[in-house]
Amino acid sequence: PVVFEDDALLIIDKPAGQAVHGGSGVSYGVIEQLRVQRADVRLLELAHRLDRETSGLLIVAKKRSALAALHDMMREGRVDKHYITMVSGHWRNERQHIRQPLFKYLTSEGERRVRVQPDGKVAHSIVTLRRRWPSFSELGVELKTGRTHQIRVHLTHAGFPLLGDDKYGDFSLNKALARDANLQRMFLHAARLSFNHPLSGELISVEAPLPPELVAFRQWV
């Protein structure tokens, strides 16, 4: 679904399970699909990325000038990105800053992973408590930096793995939730974006509702 479009930008609501681009065993991602569907558009380039299992708002640039400006804005923290996630555990603080440096590495199988490490890249997440149950917590996360797997690694390192996370999560819990609650994906959704248009300066603020399968899981909880 297209959430916003003009002559410079396209913002879509990406479903979970779709890679944003080809590679790593995926030949056909969202950007390749868009280029086929929008063959009349001369340029379509990802302004940022979402993990395959993350749903929600994804910005695609239709002009080189918009792409360059967006990259500068993201590097300078001038794009507000808000996510919704549900984690295992009883999160206590109403609002908490996580500033933990993140280091990228490859596993022995050649898979990309990230861990908290002192010599990693600066990473900053702001976590707010949305709702709490005895065993789970629903959190809002605002990204001040955009590192690979940032939310997943920051929260898991804090002792609160994302439900359904197949890389950093609680694997036995994930298996039980898939069986008992039909949670077949990671509970992470890019819900809101707010930024000044890279060319016109106009304020762009868009939202994507929580997908039905995550709403259904929340009701089950």
The residues annotated as belonging to the active site are 51
Q: Which of 61, 53, 99, 101 is nearest to 79 (CA)?
A: 61
């001369």: which residue's tokens? 42
Question: Which residues is 56 bridged to in the sheet?
Answer: 14, 190
∠ Cα 77 206 114 (to 5°): 45
Cβ 141 vs Cβ 85: under 8 Å: yes
Instruction: Count CA atoms within 13 Å of residue 198 on its CB side.
Output: 24
Can you tell me the distance from the alpha carbon of 48 to that of 43, in angstroms, rounded to the nearest whole number? Answer: 15
Q: Which distant-in-sequence residues (6+ apart) come within 8 Å of 64 by Cβ?
A: 43, 45
Query: Where does residue 17 fall: left (phi above 0), alpha (psi -120 to 50 degrees), or beta otherwise?
Result: left
Can you tell me the distance from the alpha carbon of 152 to that of 130, in angstroms, rounded to the nearest whole number? Answer: 17
